[in-house]
A and B are shown apart, each in its own frame.
Chain A
Amino acid sequence: MKPTTQNILNDIFIIEPELKQHEPEIIAIVEKLLSEKPDTKFDIEFAKNLRKKIIEKQKTEHLPWYKKILLPGAALIFSGTAIIIALVVLLPDGLTKIIPEKNNNGFTNNIQKVGQNGFGKIAISSESQDTANYSSLALAEETSSRTALGMGGETTIAPVVDAANGKIMSSISMPAYTTDYLYEYIGGEIILPEGNLPVYKKEKNSEVSGQLSQIISGFNFGLISADKFIDSKIDSFVLSENREFGYTVYFNLSENMVNINSNWQKWPQIGKECQDTACWEKYNLTEKDVPSDEELVSIADEFVKKYSLDMSFYNPGIVNQNQRLYYAQEKNDRAQNVYVPENFSVIYPLKVADTEVFETSGDPVGLSVNINIRHKKVSDVGNIVPSSYLSSEYELEKDTTKLIARAEDGGFYPAWHTENPEKTITLKLGDPKMGLVKYYQYNQDNNENYELYIPALIFPVTNYGEENIYQKFITVPLVKEILAENERQDNGGGIRPLTTPGTAPMIKTEAVRQ
């Protein structure tokens, strides 16, 4: 007797003991039914396609009013004036809905799979003349995010010149790099997933911009006639709130991105009457003005809830600690006049296919909400992105020895080592986690950059915070092509942890007269 049959019968004979007399027949009936069970031919592709169809339906139904009116087939009659008004906020009580609207149906990101290596070559070669574009684009981001940690690359210092006569006023002291930084992996065995993993490419969608353009293409605006421009499209437009503490919303339709900034004309202009330092200083913020992490997250949460931002693809908000670190570093180094930043950021880490996305620095990529701590209000929101991606599998590096070696060499950006250091500090790298790292693919044909999210290992620096160690992570790409290119490149020294001025001896150099 099959186990299934036994399971079925166990219950029956308890309820209807008399059936026990007919056990052989009952067994035969159940076994006969089991043997005649049809193959239902369930098709997984059907299920996927239906899922996609429902996602599309859900997206259409939850579009805010101004996107619904832009859908194909919408019957619209506008006068020229009405179009202008449509592009300027009319909402009486401020912006109450901002795309994308809250996704109430809990579907994951809209990801469309393409064939293996479907994005072509994604590693940026150092032989390409456009490497500088990528490098500057990526490094610019890294530099800006690392500056507070003292991870900046360049150390050029302009000479101090007397404005009255143009003479060099003093010799310039430059910090010497007498400390070398090494990386050492102290974690356990790294287990990698089998097979390959997808690389995700953020979709740019100009469909809405084309539709909006169609609406105005027949209009004559007096100085200019829209219909004279062939196949034009609206790439961006701006809405501004005309109220106290109002916002300006910038819609970048070609990049499919929305940013919110404070409408500076409607926010208090701090210190506008000041003519001297003493006046400015009275507006300086102090340590007691800095809210707790809980309060900052609460202010951010309230904002995203009020404006119905779609948070389906983000993890809960966390305070960007880089600013606190910078502030603490300043406090340690200078007894007086510590600068407290006006804004602190809460970041909601982005998830793509339930995997968190990071910068190459290891900091989370996501919705960035800046809070003005003077007014305890959200001042800016950046990286409001849609959830449409293409995915394509790329071959992974499976040799963990190579991956660890890359991590110990600085990860994405090879470490720079000083000769004859007076001191060596070792950053210890712990067990890595898997994630996606933001990476740019440059298309030489159309000079466009595409944002990719590539599988990577993120190694935590376990002795972060000790003795001038302000680097939190080392990231290593898992995509074989990118790792190979990283190893081949010599990018002139990589990123170097900066020692604070107080800890390194200064050497004098003569500034060059210009």
Chain B
Amino acid sequence: MESKNFTAENSRSRDAENFGALYDQYVKKIYNFIYYKTFHKETAEDLTAQTFLKAFEHLSSRRADSGKFSSWLYTIARHTVIDYYRTRKNQTNIDDIWDISDNSELSADLDNQDTLNKVKKYLSTIPSEQREIIILRVWEGLSYTEIGEILGKSENACKTTFCRALKQLKTQIPLTLLLLFLTSLKI
């Protein structure tokens, strides 16, 4: 996941020297990661900016054993989204848009609202960790190794969780709808 110029150690001093390159490498990924949690462009941009500024501020104080830079960065992004929703909604059990049950409160982009409504029916029914892996694997196309780095899990653990998520979704999505969908794809 990291540029091949960086060693697996990812020392703080190396991160500091290469923050510019790291920014270029991760800005779109972090933005997409946050967008999938907010479905709102302006909010995603704002939270992405907060993520990188926080990362920049804390670069020097980042612990040497805090793992890969990417994991650390995604963790900051995740917490930034959580803080945003908990502050706005004043509820401690909302981490992102998937936890908002009342559709009237959704502030998703207009042209993605339909998509969100469709996928929310089943993606919001699975645990957030499974949902995150599903989104990162299917929508972002990341490998299990990359997902593992983000979530702090092993590759096999991510695969297992992904399988469980699919099993869960299989029970959530009506068979008739799936068959209709299959027919439309001419599989």
Contact = CB atoms under 8 A, between A and B. Distances in A.
A39 interface: yes
Interface in A1-60: 1, 4, 8, 11-12, 15-16, 19, 22, 24-34, 36-43, 46-47, 50-51, 53-54, 57-58
A115 interface: no
A96 interface: no
A25 B178 contact: yes
Given A19-B163, A38-B116, A33 B138 contact: yes
Nearest to A48: B27
A106 interface: yes
Interface stretch (B49-57, B64-72, B73-81, B86-94): B49-57
B123 to A, nearest CB: 8
Contacts of B32: 40, 42
Nearest to A46: B45
B45 to A, nearest CB: 5
Nearest to B116: A38
Contacts of B150: none
Contact of A42 (B28, B134, B178, B185): B28
Interface string B1-32: 00000000000010011111101100110011
A54 B52 contact: yes
Contacts of A8: 137-138
A159 B35 CA distance: 81
B93 to A, nearest CB: 24
For chain B, what secondary structure do more than half of its interface residues adopt (helix, strand, loop), or is it mixed?
A: helix
B101 interface: no
Interface residue range, chain B: 35 or more
A33 B170 contact: no
Contacts of A53: 49, 53
B53 A31 contact: no
Interface in B118-160: 118-119, 134, 137-139, 141, 144, 156, 159-160
Nearest to B169: A29
A2 to B, nearest CB: 9
B18 A16 contact: no
Contacts of B169: 29
A16 B163 contact: yes
Contacts of A37: 138-139
A105 interface: yes
B56 A58 contact: yes
B115 A54 contact: no
Given A24-B187, A36-B115, A40-B32, A105 B141 contact: no
Nearest to A2: B185
B23 A40 contact: no
B36 A47 contact: no
B21 A38 contact: no
B115 A41 contact: no
Interface in A94-132: 104-108
B175 A30 contact: no
A41 B115 CA distance: 14
B138 A25 contact: no
B23 A54 contact: yes
Nearest to A51: B23
B73 to A, nearest CB: 13
A39 B32 CA distance: 9
Contact of B187 (A28, A34, A42, A58): A28
Interface string A307-338: 00000000000000000000000000000000
A32 B16 contact: no
Contacts of B175: 25
B20 A106 contact: yes
A105 B19 contact: yes
Nearest to B45: A46
Contacts of B53: 53-54, 57
Nearest to A47: B27
A83 B109 CA distance: 56
Given A12-B159, A47-B27, A107-B20, A33 B41 contact: no
B166 A12 contact: yes
A124 to B, nearest CB: 36
B162 interface: yes
A54 B109 CA distance: 27
Contact of B16 (A1, A27, A105): A105
A108 B17 CA distance: 11
B39 interface: yes
Contacts of A11: 144, 159, 162
B63 to A, nearest CB: 18
A28 B18 contact: no
B79 to A, nearest CB: 19
A104 B27 contact: no
Nearest to B18: A106
Contacts of B160: 15-16
A405 to B, nearest CB: 40
A33 B115 CA distance: 10
Nearest to A5: B138
B101 to A, nearest CB: 20
17 contacts: A11-B144, A12-B166, A22-B170, A26-B170, A29-B178, A30-B138, A31-B181, A32-B181, A33-B134, A38-B35, A38-B112, A41-B35, A54-B23, A57-B53, A104-B13, A104-B16, A105-B59
Interface of B: 13, 16-21, 23-24, 27-28, 31-32, 35-36, 39, 41, 44-45, 48-49, 52-53, 56, 59, 109, 111-112, 115-116, 118-119, 134, 137-139, 141, 144, 156, 159-160, 162-163, 166-167, 169-170, 173, 175, 178-179, 181-182, 185, 187
Interface of A: 1, 4, 8, 11-12, 15-16, 19, 22, 24-34, 36-43, 46-47, 50-51, 53-54, 57-58, 104-108
Given A22-B170, A42-B31, A105-B19, 6 more contacts: A25-B170, A26-B170, A29-B173, A33-B134, A38-B39, A43-B41
The 5 closest A-B pairs by CB, nearest first: A107-B20, A105-B19, A40-B35, A28-B178, A16-B163
